[in-house]
Chains A and B, each alone.
Chain A
Amino acid sequence: MSISEKQQVVTETGVQLDAVTKAFGAIEIIRGVDIHIEKGEFAVFIGPSGCGKSTLLRMIAGLEDTTSGTIRIGQRDVTEEDPAKRGVAMVFQSYALYPHLTVFENMAFSLRLAREKKDVVQKKVHEAAAILRLTDQLQLKPSQLSGGQRQRVAIGRAIVRAPEVFLFDEPLSNLDAELRVQMRLELARLHKALGATMIYVTHDQVEAMTLADKIFVLQGGHVQQSGNPLDLYENPSNRFVAGFIGSPAMNFFEATVSGHSDAGITVRLTDQNDLELLLDVSARPSVGSGVTVGIRPEHLALTDGPGLRVAVDVAEELGGVSYQHGALEGGGAVVFQQDGIRHGMRGTVQTVTPQPGRIYLFASSGERLR
């Protein structure tokens, strides 16, 4: 989709959450979340387990009550609406297929409840089955299907309802790695074909990065940051997001501000005191204050000059790239990436230096300093 096309689509609201909270008794799970998802957008909620991402999705579905705040789908306030009347369909992690019904009956379930005419039911189910390549399986029970097929039935059940919004709750986590990649592509195609708003919950950042138009990173019941995938990668707004997006995770080093200049500030790493790094930031934390320096593994390169001296103890060779794991003299763990196969680094001390402009600085509170 080109940029101009996209801008035409984004005029309408898909899903909007305003100051939404959720408490179970005294425990607050969702603590004031504002989310805006355009119509037709593929949004991904990502975060560590327990961050509230699934709860938030279930609140949009209407399976959990909302303690305060409002949820809008399209133009409608659906905060108090029944799940069935919200115009959403959900694909569950467990698929939640009705085990006693055939694939056809599973997909026809909602249509039959809505007392659709028989030929309409037939037509809609067969259309969905054709999209999902399930036509030959329509008379089978879920127990006779493979994991990937069950997953597709669950999606088919959502498609026949032609909802405004599709909700996916970690839909691929029960599949093996190969199937997961395949289904990921199918979901991307499906989104393109249907053009519906989709909200997808996952803890797998590869899924998030590859599928999303917009990612919402959640932690502790808050949206830490939202934006398109590369934006989050390039411009994390705090240490949590910086560490969560990107694989392997960003390296963090404790450091002390050692000086100010027109070009920026200089910091010394706690674990390697002889190295002074110059950071091009406009923030001016006071000299002597503690900060955190973040550098991604792919932004560290071998150097003959001064740099971080890493005692490599484990090498992960992936063929195309290798990840060298080690530690600084002071003990801080470091990972750096090398292109191609690099034997012989294990047990040696390598000096690496960050690419200029690729060093992130965080205050001790975790906020990004720019």
Chain B
Amino acid sequence: MSRIRRKQREMRSAIILVAPFMIIFAIFFLYPTIKVVMLSFTNAPLIGDGDWVGFDNYAKLLTDRLFRTSLWNNLYFVVLTVIPTTVIALLIALAVGQLRGRMQALVLTLFFLPYILPVSVVTLIWSWMLDFQFGILQPLIAAVAGRPVAVFRDPNWVMPMIALVTVWWTNGFNVLLFIAGLRNIPQDLYEAAALDGATPWQRFRRITWPLLWPVTTLVLTLQLILQLKLFDQVYLLSAGGPFNQSYVVLLQMYREAFQLNNGGYASAVAMVLFAIIVILSVLQFQLLKIRGRR
């Protein structure tokens, strides 16, 4: 068989294998995405066409106070979750790494368990635990704050508490990533370091930390993207309240699209969030990579 014929046959099987994904991707992702971009330049309602309004929607966003609050809350939430969850996951992974065999598997499972719960169950568990009247955590809160607090109705408590629930819920996955990273570090490096006179702290600082840096970069970036997309927990726990103190960008998009029937404007909100996520995550990933290479 000639080389060209063989190439053609390879090409054909490649296309056949890739086609199912490409078709589904085009219908359910690519087409809606293009549609959203186009919608964001119109005044269309949720269903049906609208008129082309150029950058009006985006201009309006600049003066939208709720949007500014939402954006601010999003960033606040990122600060509250991304680095803390990474640090906590690393600490848990290091501790779990000390365990052996079945015990390690058991403890790892316990930490991973919340991750497999649906968000509605997670929020239900925590709204009961933090319930103003019956919540078992209220004595703890009373000890800290001096009085019981209805945390999801308190402007100061609401975001930190949603962050806490989120960290509890999603941390298991990060622990898993860190454990995998730790297992990739050969044991004899630690033995060599012990012979070289490294203390446990120096072993962490000079071997574990630099060799785990690629995983840390991955965790931080995944977390940044995930936490900027915050919606479900807020929707279920506080609905954006009180006084919009937990209003976030996706919640506003939901409101504009599905409650106020402003498809065009909601699309503009979505586009801005999309741009922010892309810019921040690329920026962060590049910065972290440079740090790691240093």
Contact = CB atoms under 8 A, between A and B. Distances in A.
A281 B188 CA distance: 50
B125 interface: no
A125 interface: no
A61 B194 CA distance: 10
Nearest to A85: B197
B62 interface: no
A161 B196 contact: yes
A88 B197 contact: no
Contact of B197 (A61, A96, A113): A113
B101 to A, nearest CB: 13
B186 interface: yes
A99 B197 contact: no
A243 interface: no
A82 B191 CA distance: 12
A233 interface: no
A169 to B, nearest CB: 9
B195 interface: yes
Contact of A61 (B193, B195, B206, B210): B195
Contact of B202 (A62, A90, A94, A113): A113
B18 to A, nearest CB: 33
Contact of B189 (A61, A84, A90, A98): A98
Contact of A83 (B194, B206, B207): B194
Interface in B199-234: 202, 206-207, 210-211
A268 to B, nearest CB: 53
B22 interface: no
A336 B202 CA distance: 58
B239 interface: no
B153 to A, nearest CB: 49
Nearest to B293: A100
By size class, the interface of chain A is 20 to 34
A82 B192 CA distance: 13
Contact of B195 (A90, A100, A114): A90
A152 to B, nearest CB: 15
B265 to A, nearest CB: 49
A96 B189 contact: yes
A199 interface: no
B211 A83 contact: no
Contact of B210 (A82, A94, A100, A110): A100
A94 B186 CA distance: 9
Contacts of B194: 62-63, 82-84
A18 B114 CA distance: 54
B196 A110 contact: yes
Interface residues of B, number: 16
A109 interface: yes
A92 interface: yes
Given A98-B207, A99-B211, A100-B211, A89 B195 contact: yes
B192 A90 contact: yes
Contact of A92 (B188, B198, B206, B207): B188
Contacts of B202: 113
Nearest to B194: A83
Nearest to B190: A96
A311 B189 CA distance: 53
B186 A84 contact: no
Interface in A77-130: 82-85, 88-90, 92, 94, 96, 98-100, 109-110, 113-114
Nearest to A89: B195
Interface string A50-92: 0000000000011100000000000000000011110011101
Contact of A88 (B189, B195, B210): B195
B211 to A, nearest CB: 6
A98 B186 CA distance: 10
Contacts of B186: 94, 96
A161 B210 CA distance: 24
Nearest to A86: B195
Interface in B91-139: none
A294 to B, nearest CB: 39
Of B189, B192, B207, the most chain A CB neighbours within 10 A belong to B192
B157 to A, nearest CB: 42
**Which of B194, B195, B210 has the largest number of chain A CB atoms within 10 A?**
B195
Contacts of A157: 192, 196
A82 B198 CA distance: 11
B196 A96 contact: no
A92 B196 CA distance: 13
A247 B193 CA distance: 38
Contacts of A85: 197
B191 A110 contact: no
A94 B189 CA distance: 9
Which of B194, B196, B198, B206 has the most CB atoms of chain A within a 10 A radius of its CB? B196
A61 B197 CA distance: 12
A94 B191 CA distance: 12
Interface in A332-353: none
A26 to B, nearest CB: 17
Interface string B234-265: 00000000000000000000000000000000
A96 B192 contact: yes
B198 A113 contact: yes
Nearest 10 pairs of A and B residues by beta carbon: A84-B197, A110-B196, A96-B188, A96-B192, A100-B210, A83-B194, A83-B195, A113-B197, A92-B188, A63-B191
20 contacts: A63-B195, A83-B195, A84-B197, A88-B195, A90-B192, A90-B195, A92-B192, A94-B186, A96-B186, A96-B189, A98-B189, A100-B210, A109-B193, A110-B196, A110-B197, A113-B197, A113-B198, A114-B197, A157-B196, A161-B196
Interface of B: 186, 188-189, 191-198, 202, 206-207, 210-211
Given A90-B195, A157-B196, 18 more contacts: A61-B195, A62-B194, A63-B194, A82-B194, A83-B191, A83-B194, A92-B188, A94-B186, A96-B188, A96-B192, A109-B196, A110-B195, A110-B197, A113-B196, A113-B197, A113-B198, A113-B202, A114-B197
